[in-house]
C-alpha cells in the first residue's frame, strides 16, 4: 500500500504559504485574527478617547463614524471569528481522533480568502476612507447618495471575500466531524467543544449565504445602479434590514456557541468532574441554533413591522433564554462538589458565567418589544451586546487559549501573568460596559461622536474610558505572557493539566504532523478520562502501525485568493475616473476584474486537472518526532 | 484481469442492467406532465388566480420530489445527513420567503 | 488516512466507484452540505424577487414582458438535460466510459442551448423593451435572480466540460468518478432552482 510519492517539502515562509496542515493553519488563523483584534482594539480605544469628555474635538464626526463601523466589522468578522477558527482547527481533529480535516486543501483556501478579504477591508483606511455606515450598513445610509466614497464598497467586497472563506471553513468542519471521527466515537460521545463547533458550522452554512446575497444586492445598487434599496426606483430599504439580520442574528450565535463549547471543556477539567447533563447540553446547543434563525426581527422592532410580527419575534427571542439557562445551570452543577482549581483558564471560564448571564438578562429585557422602543439605539444596547460578545465570547476565547496553548505550542503560559490578565481584563471590562447600561437608560444614543456637558453623562463616560484602557492593559499582559512562553523551550507533557479528559491530551504537545501514530479506539464519553479511570495510561489503538498518507502542500489556495482579491478591487473601481488614462482603461473595461477571476478559475482548473496523490510517512520516521508520555 | 474476475465483472454488470432507464423515463414523463399542468393552468386563463397559484406551487413541490428523491437519490438509504441539511437549507430559505410576503411592505 | 486508495492499480473498478474512497464519500457528503447553503442563497434571492416583483417603476411589467413559449422551451431543455445527466450516472455505474462521455456531452450541449435562449431573452428585454438593470426594482431583482441561475448553468457547463476532458485523458477511476457524480448532483440542483424560477418568476408573473 505504501506508494512512495516524492513530495516537495518547503521551508520557512513558503512552508506557511503552502501548508495544508490543520495545526499550522490554526496558527495562521490565530496570528491574523490576533492582528485584526489588535486593530479593532486600537479603534475601540480611539472611540473611548473621543468620548472621554463632553464636546471633545479630538476626532471629527466622519472619522468617528469610520472608526465605529470598522471597530464592529473588524472585531466580529476579522478578529473573533478567525480566533474561533484557530481553536476549531487546532483542536477538533485532535478531539475526534483524526489525522487532519476532511478537506485540507479547502482548509487552506478558506484561510487565505478570509485573510485577503480582511486585508481588502482594512486597505480602505489608506485608499480614500473607511466604510462609515455602521457595521450594519443600513440603507439608504450606505447608498451612493449618502456614502459617496468607496468606503462601503470596501465593506461589501471585503466582507464578501472574507465571508466566502468562513463558509468554506464551516463546510469543512461539518464534513470533518461527520466523517472523520475515530472508531467508537458516536455523536453522543463527542466532546462538547466539537459539538458546539459542529452546530456553529451548520449555522455558518445556513447564515452566510444570506449575507452573500445581501452584499451582492448592495454592490449592484452601488456599482451597477440597481434599485433594490433605492426607493426612487421602487426598492425597499427594509429588505436590507431583513436580509442583514437573517444572517446577522445567527451570526451572533455563531460567535457565542464555540465559547459555550470551550467553557464546557474547561470547567469539567478543572472541577475534575464530568460535565453535568451532557445530553441536555447537546440538546440545548441545537435548540439555540434552531431558535437563532427565528428571532432576527427583534433587531427591527422600531422599524414598524406591526404588533403581530413584534409579538412573535418577542416570544421566540425570550424562548432562547430557556436552553441558555439550562447551560448556565449545568456549568454550575458541574462545579458543585468538584475539586475546583482556579488557574487562568478556569478563572476566565468561571468569570464567563456571571458576565454572560448579565448579558443574557439584558437580552431578555431588549426582547420585550414595548421596552425596546425605549432602549433602541441607546448605550443600553451597546452594553448588552458587549456583555455577550466580550463578556461571553472573548472570555471564552481567552479561557480556551490559556487551556489549549500547551497543546498548540508545547509551552504552558505563565500563571502569575495569566492571573494579572484575568483581573485587569475582567475589572476593566465591567468598568467599561456596566456604566453604559445606565448611560443608555438616561438617554445617551449610540453612534454619536460627542455629547453636551451636564446631562449626567460626564462621569460615567470617563469611567468607561478608563475601563477600556484597563482592558487594553489586560491584553498587553496576555501578549507579554505569549512572548515569554516562546522564550522557554518547547516540550511540555502530553497532558500538562493532568486532568485532561479528551483525546487531544493523549498525544504530544505540540502534536506531530500526523497527530495520531495509531487512530485510538473510543470507549465512551471523555475517552481519555475513561481510560485513566480504568488504570490505563494511553488509548487502545484501533489500527496497526503503518505508513500514514498525507496531503501534499500546495500554493494554489494562496494564488486563488490573490485572484479573488484582484477581482474584488477591479469590481470596486470599475466606475472610477483615474488621473492616468491607462488605469481608467484597465479598470473601466473590467480588465482587472477579469484578470483576477482568470487567476482564480485558472488555479481551480489546475487543481482539478492535476491529481494530488499525497505522500506517506513511514513507521520508521515516527520515533524521530518524539512520542513522550507524561 | 483473471477469468474469475471477469465473471464477477459480468455479474455486476448483469445486476446493474436491472436498474435500467425505464424508471427514470417514467420519472421524466411525470415531471414533464407536472410542468405542462403548470403552464396550462396559466396559459388557459380564466382560472381564479388564487387557485392557479396553489396549482403552481403544488406542481413545483412535486417536481422537487422527483428531482431530489429519484435523481439525486435522496430516497435511498444512508442519506440522513443530506436530508437533514437540505431541510435546514429549505427551512432558512422559507423564513426569508415568508418574511418577503409578510413583513416587507405596510 | 492510511486506508485511502487513490490509485486503482491492477484491481478492477468497484461497483460504485464514486463512493469507493473516503475522499469520494467526503466529497459527495460535503457537496450535499454545500447544496443546503445554496438553498439559502437562492431562497434569499427569491425572497428579494417576491418583495420587488410588482415594483415596476413605470417600466415594463412581468405580464407585458414574458413569453410563455420561450420559457416552456427553456424548461423543456433543462428537464431533458436532467434526464441525460441521470443516464450519464447510470453509464458510470455500468463502467461504460464511452456511453458516459456521450451523455455528458449531450448534457453540456443542452446546457449551452439553455444559455443561448437566456442570452437571447435578456438581449430582447434590454434592447427592444428598454428593460435594463437600472429600470426598476423589479428589473434589478429579475436580472439578479435569473442571472444567478444562468451563471450557475454556465459554471456547470464549464465544469462538466472539463470533466469530459479528464475522462478522455484519465479514464474512469475512483478519482474521476466522484467528480462526475458531484457535478451531476449540481446539475439536478440547478434544475430544481429552475423549477422555482419558471413557477415564481414567469408563471406567477403572468398570473399577476
**pLDDT tens per residue across all 208 residues of chain C:** 333 444 444 457 888 888 889 999 999 999 999 999 999 999 999 999 999 999 999 999 999 999 999 999 999 999 999 999 999 999 999 999 999 999 999 999 999 999 999 999 999 999 988 999 999 999 999 999 999 999 999 999 999 999 999 999 999 999 999 999 999 999 999 999 999 999 999 999 988 7
pLDDT at position A11 is 82
What is the domain partition of chain A in residue ranges? 12-182+189-554+612-621
* 3-class secondary-structure state, position A541: strand
Domains and CATH numbers, chain C: 17-207 (1.20.120.80)
Residues A99-108 pLDDT 10s: 999 999 999 9
Average pLDDT value for chain A:
94
| Residues of chain C contacting residue A171, judged by C-beta atoms under 8 Å apart | 30, 33-34, 37
- Per-residue pLDDT band for A413 (boundaries 50, 70, 90) equals very high
Contact B36, C76 (CB under 8 A): no
Q: Please tell me what DSSP assigns to residue A616.
A: E
Q: Are residues B46 and B95 in the same domain?
A: no
Q: String of b and e for B9-42 (b: at least 16 CB within 10 Å)? A: eeebeeeeeeeeeeebeebbeebeebbeebbebb
pLDDT at position A450 is 95
- Phi and psi torsions of B81, nearest 5°: -60, -50
Give the whole-angstrom CA distance, residue C173 versus residue C164: 13
Contact C183, C160 (CB under 8 A): yes
Q: Using the predicted structure, report yes or no on whether residue A349 has a pLDDT greater than 80.
A: yes
Contact A298, A314 (CB under 8 A): yes
- Burial-class residue A68 by CB neighbours within 10 Å (0-12, 13-18, 19+): buried
Q: Using the predicted structure, report yes or no on whether residue A612 has a pLDDT greater than 90.
A: no
Q: Among A172, A220, A242, select the one facing C144 at the smallest CB separation.
A: A220
Is the ipTM above a cut-off of 0.90?
yes
Give the whole-angstrom CA distance, residue A533 versus residue A530: 5
Min Cα distance C130 → chain A (Å) is 15
Min Cα distance B41 → chain A (Å) is 30
Min Cα distance B102 → chain C (Å) is 9
The pTM for the full model equals 0.94
Residues A426-477 pLDDT 10s: 999 999 999 999 999 999 999 999 999 999 999 999 999 999 999 999 999 9
Mean of pLDDT values over A13-24: 94
Number of domains in chain B: 2
| Residues of chain C contacting residue B14, judged by C-beta atoms under 8 Å apart | none
Cα Rg of chain C (Å, integer)? 20
Cβ separation C52–A614 shorter than 8 A: no
Mean of pLDDT values over A39-45: 97
Q: Are residues B68 and B82 in the same domain?
A: no
- Phi and psi torsions of A352, nearest 5°: -55, -40
| Residues of chain B contacting residue A202, judged by C-beta atoms under 8 Å apart | 85, 88
Q: Among C29, C94, C196, select the one facing B60 at the smallest CB separation.
A: C196
**Nearest residue to A27 (alpha-carbon basis) of A103, A111, A121:** A111
173-192 of A, contacting C, C-beta below 8 A = 174-175, 178-179
Q: Using the predicted structure, report yes or no on whether residue B46 has a pLDDT greater than 90.
A: no
* 3-class secondary-structure state, position A19: coil
- Per-residue pLDDT band for A223 (boundaries 50, 70, 90) equals very high
Give the whole-angstrom CA distance, residue A277 versus residue A329: 9
Residues A541-584 pLDDT 10s: 999 999 999 999 999 999 999 999 999 999 999 888 888 889 89
More confident residue, A505 or A7: A505
Give the whole-angstrom CA distance, residue A535 versus residue A520: 16
53-72 of C, contacting B, C-beta below 8 A = 68, 71-72
Give the whole-angstrom CA distance, residue C117 versus residue C129: 17
Q: Are residues B60 and B82 in the same domain?
A: no
**Nearest residue to B96 (alpha-carbon basis) of C199, C35, A210:** A210
Q: Are residues B20 and B42 in the same domain?
A: yes
Residue A293: which residues within 8 A CB-CB, separation 6 or more? A203, A206, A207, A246, A249, A250, B91, B92, B95
pLDDT at position A490 is 87
Q: Among B49, B67, B81, select the one facing C188 at the smallest CB separation.
A: B67
User: Which CATH superfamily does the domain covering A12-182+189-554+612-621 fall into?
Assistant: Cytochrome c oxidase-like, subunit I domain (1.20.210.10)
Contact B48, C125 (CB under 8 A): no
Mean of pLDDT values over A5-18: 80
Q: Are residues B87 and B61 in the same domain?
A: no
Residue A545: which residues within 8 A CB-CB, separation 6 or more? A517, A518, A619, A622
Cβ separation B21–C189 shorter than 8 A: no
Give the whole-angstrom CA distance, residue A359 versus residue A231: 37
More confident residue, A382 or B56: A382
Q: Using the predicted structure, report yes or no on whether residue A336 has a pLDDT greater than 60.
A: yes
Given CB atoms, is C94 within the 8 Å cutoff of chain B? yes
Percentage of chain A lying above the pLDDT 90 cut: 91
Q: Which of C100, C191, C193, C197 to mutate to test the interface with B (most CBs of B within 10 A)?
A: C191
Q: Using the predicted structure, report yes or no on whether residue B6 has a pLDDT greater than 70.
A: no
Give the whole-angstrom CA distance, residue C166 versus residue C177: 10
Cβ separation B99–A246 shorter than 8 A: yes
Q: Using the predicted structure, report yes or no on whether residue A6 has a pLDDT greater than 60.
A: no
Contact A456, A435 (CB under 8 A): no
More confident residue, B1 or C143: C143
Q: Are residues B45 and B88 in the same domain?
A: no
Residues B69-103 pLDDT 10s: 888 888 888 889 999 999 999 999 999 999 999 99
Q: Are residues B13 and B55 in the same domain?
A: yes
Q: Are residues B16 and B43 in the same domain?
A: yes
Q: Are residues B86 and B61 in the same domain?
A: no
Q: Are residues B18 and B62 in the same domain?
A: yes
Angle, CA A446 vertex, CA A441 and CA A451 arms, to 5°: 85
Give the whole-angstrom CA distance, residue A476 versus residue A467: 14
**Nearest residue to A194 (alpha-carbon basis) of A249, A250, A253, A260:** A260
**Nearest residue to C190 (alpha-carbon basis) of C27, C72, C42:** C42
Average pLDDT value for chain B:
81
**All cell numbers assigned to A104:** 485540507
Interhelix angle A104-123/A556-572, rounded to 10 degrees, is 30
Q: Using the predicted structure, report yes or no on whether residue B17 has a pLDDT greater than 80.
A: no
Q: Are residues B20 and B37 in the same domain?
A: yes
Q: Are residues B49 and B24 in the same domain?
A: yes
Establish, for the pair of chains A and B, how many residue pairs have beta carbons separated by less than 8 Å: 41
Note down the domain range covering B104.
77-106
Cβ separation B92–C48 shorter than 8 A: no
The lowest-confidence range among A228-232, A275-279, B50-54, C1-5 is C1-5
CA-nearest residue to C49 within chain A is A228
Mean of pLDDT values over A139-152: 93
**All cell numbers assigned to A52:** 472621554
User: Which residues in A have their CB inside 8 Å of a CB on B?
Assistant: 178, 202, 205-207, 210, 236, 238-239, 242-243, 246, 293-294, 297, 304-306, 309
592-621 of A, contacting C, C-beta below 8 A = 605, 608-609, 611, 613-614
Amino acid at each position: 500500500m505504501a506508494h512512495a510519492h516524492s513530495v516537495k517539502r518547503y521551508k520557512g515562509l513558503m512552508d506557511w504559504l503552502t501548508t495544508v496542515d490543520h495545526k499550522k493553519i490554526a496558527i495562521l488563523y490565530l496570528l491574523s485574527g490576533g492582528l485584526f483584534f489588535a486593530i479593532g482594539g486600537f479603534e475601540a480605544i480611539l472611540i473611548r478617547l473621543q468620548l472621554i469628555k463632553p464636546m471633545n474635538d479630538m476626532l471629527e464626526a466622519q472619522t468617528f463614524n469610520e472608526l465605529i463601523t470598522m471597530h464592529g466589522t473588524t472585531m466580529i468578522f476579522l478578529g473573533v471569528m478567525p480566533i474561533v477558527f484557530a481553536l476549531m482547527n487546532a483542536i477538533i481533529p485532535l478531539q475526534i481522533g483524526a489525522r487532519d480535516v476532511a478537506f485540507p486543501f479547502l482548509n487552506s483556501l478558506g484561510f487565505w480568502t478570509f485573510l485577503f478579504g480582511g486585508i481588502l477591508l482594512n486597505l480602505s483606511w489608506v485608499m480614500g476612507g473607511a466604510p462609515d455606515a455602521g457595521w450594519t450598513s443600513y440603507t439608504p445610509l450606505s447608498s451612493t447618495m449618502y456614502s459617496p466614497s468607496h468606503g462601503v464598497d470596501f465593506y461589501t467586497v471585503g466582507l464578501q471575500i472574507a465571508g466566502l472563506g468562513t463558509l468554506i471553513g464551516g463546510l469543512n468542519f461539518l464534513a470533518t466531524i461527520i466523517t472523520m471521527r475515530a472508531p467508537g466515537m458516536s455523536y453522543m460521545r463527542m466532546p462538547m467543544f466539537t459539538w458546539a463547533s459542529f452546530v456553529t458550522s451548520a449555522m455558518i452554512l445556513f447564515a452566510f449565504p444570506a449575507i452573500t446575497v445581501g452584499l451582492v444586492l448592495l454592490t449592484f445598487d452601488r456599482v451597477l445602479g440597481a434599485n433594490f434599496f433605492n426607493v426612487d426606483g421602487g426598492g425597499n430599504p427594509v429588505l436590507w434590514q431583513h436580509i442583514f439580520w437573517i444572517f446577522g442574528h445567527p451570526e451572533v450565535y455563531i460567535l457565542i456557541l464555540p465559547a459555550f463549547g470551550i467553557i464546557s471543556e474547561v470547567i469539567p477539567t478543572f472541577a475534575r468532574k464530568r460535565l453535568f447533563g451532557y445530553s441536555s447540553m447537546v440538546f440545548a446547543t441545537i435548540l439555540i441554533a434552531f431558535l437563532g434563525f427565528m428571532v432576527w426581527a427583534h433587531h427591527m422592532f422600531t422599524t414598524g413591522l406591526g404588533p403581530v410580527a413584534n409579538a412573535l419575534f418577542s416570544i421566540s427571542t425570550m424562548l432562547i433564554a430557556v436552553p441558555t439557562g439550562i447551560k448556565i445551570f449545568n456549568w454550575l452543577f458541574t462545579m458543585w462538589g468538584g475539586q475546583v482549581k482556579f488557574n487562568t483558564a478556569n478563572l476566565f471560564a468561571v468569570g464567563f458565567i456571571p458576565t454572560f448571564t448579565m448579558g443574557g438578562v439584558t437580552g431578555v429585557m431588549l426582547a420585550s418589544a414595548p421596552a425596546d422602543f425605549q432602549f433602541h439605539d441607546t448605550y443600553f444596547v451597546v452594553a448588552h451586546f458587549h456583555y455577550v460578545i466580550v463578556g461571553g465570547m472573548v472570555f471564552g476565547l481567552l479561557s480556551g487559549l490559556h487551556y489549549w496553548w500547551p497543546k498548540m505550542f508545547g509551552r504552558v503560559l505563565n500563571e502569575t501573568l495569566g492571573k494579572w490578565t484575568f483581573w485587569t481584563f475582567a475589572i476593566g471590562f465591567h468598568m467599561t460596559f456596566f456604566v453604559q447600561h445606565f448611560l443608555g437608560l438616561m438617554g445617551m444614543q449610540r453612534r454619536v461622536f460627542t455629547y453636551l456637558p451636564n446631562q449626567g453623562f460626564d462621569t460615567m463616560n470617563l469611567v468607561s474610558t478608563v475601563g477600556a484602557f484597563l482592558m487594553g492593559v489586560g491584553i498587553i499582559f496576555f501578549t507579554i505572557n505569549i512572548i515569554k512562553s516562546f522564550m522557554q523551550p518547547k516540550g511540555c507533557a502530553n497532558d500538562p493539566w493532568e486532568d485532561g479528559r479528551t483525546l487531544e491530551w493523549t498525544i504530544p504537545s505540540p502534536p506531530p504532523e500526523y497527530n495520531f501514530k495509531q487512530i485510538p479506539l473510543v470507549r465512551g464519553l471523555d475517552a481519555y478520562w475513561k481510560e485513566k479511570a480504568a488504570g490505563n495510561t494511553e488509548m487502545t489503538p484501533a489500527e496497526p502501525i503503518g505508513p500514514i498518507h498525507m496531503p501534499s502542500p500546495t500554493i494554489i489556495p494562496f494564488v486563488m485568493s490573490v485572484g479573488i482579491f484582484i477581482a474584488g478591487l477591479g469590481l470596486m473601481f470599475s466606475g472610477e475616473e483615474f488621473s492616468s488614462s491607462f488605469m481608467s482603461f484597465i479598470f473601466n473595461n473590467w480588465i482587472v476584474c477579469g484578470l483576477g477571476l482568470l487567476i482564480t478559475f485558472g488555479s481551480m482548473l489546475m487543481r482539478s486537472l492535476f491529481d494530488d496523490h499525497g505522500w506517506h510517512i513511514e513507521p520508521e520516521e515516527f520515533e524521530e518526532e518524539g512520542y513522550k508520555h507524561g | 484481469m483473471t477469468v474469475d474476475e471477469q465473471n464477477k465483472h459480468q455479474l455486476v454488470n448483469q445486476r446493474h442492467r436491472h436498474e435500467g432507464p425505464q424508471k427514470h423515463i417514467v420519472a421524466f414523463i411525470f415531471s414533464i406532465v407536472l410542468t405542462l399542468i403548470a403552464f396550462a393552468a396559466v396559459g388557459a386563463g380564466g382560472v381564479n388566480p388564487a387557485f392557479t397559484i396553489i396549482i403552481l406551487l403544488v406542481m413545483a413541490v412535486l417536481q422537487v420530489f422527483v428531482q431530489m428523491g429519484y435523481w439525486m437519490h435522496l430516497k435511498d438509504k444512508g442519506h440522513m445527513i443530506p436530508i437533514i441539511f437540505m431541510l435546514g437549507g429549505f427551512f432558512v430559505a422559507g423564513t426569508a420567503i415568508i418574511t418577503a410576503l409578510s413583513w416587507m411592505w405596510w | 488516512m492510511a486506508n485511502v486508495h487513490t490509485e486503482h492499480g491492477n484491481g478492477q473498478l468497484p461497483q460504485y466507484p464514486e463512493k469507493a474512497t473516503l475522499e469520494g464519500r467526503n466529497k459527495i457528503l460535503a457537496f450535499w452540505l454545500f447544496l443546503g447553503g445554496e438553498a439559502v442563497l437562492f431562497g434569499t434571492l427569491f425572497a428579494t424577487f417576491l418583495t420587488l416583483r410588482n415594483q415596476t417603476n413605470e417600466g415594463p411589467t412581468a405580464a407585458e414582458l414574458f413569453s410563455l413559449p420561450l420559457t416552456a422551451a427553456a424548461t423543456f431543455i433543462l428537464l431533458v438535460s436532467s434526464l441525460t445527466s441521470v443516464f450519464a450516472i447510470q453509464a458510470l455505474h455500468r463502467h461504460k466510459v464511452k456511453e458516459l462521455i456521450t451523455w455528458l456531452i449531450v448534457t453540456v450541449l443542452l446546457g449551452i442551448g439553455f444559455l443561448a435562449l437566456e442570452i437571447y431573452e435578456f438581449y430582447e428585454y434590454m434592447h427592444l423593451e428598454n428593460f435594463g438593470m437600472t429600470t426598476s426594482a423589479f428589473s434589478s431583482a429579475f436580472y439578479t435572480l435569473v442571472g444567478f441561475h444562468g451563471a450557475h448553468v454556465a459554471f456547470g457547463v464549464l465544469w462538466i466540460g472539463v470533466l469530459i476532458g479528464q475522462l478522455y485523458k484519465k479514464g474512469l477511476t475512483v478519482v474521476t468518478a466522484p467528480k462526475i457524480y458531484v457535478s451531476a448532483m449540481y446539475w439536478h440542483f440547478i434544475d430544481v432552482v429552475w423549477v422555482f424560477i419558471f413557477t415564481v418568476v414567469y408563471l406567477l408573473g403572468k398570473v399577476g
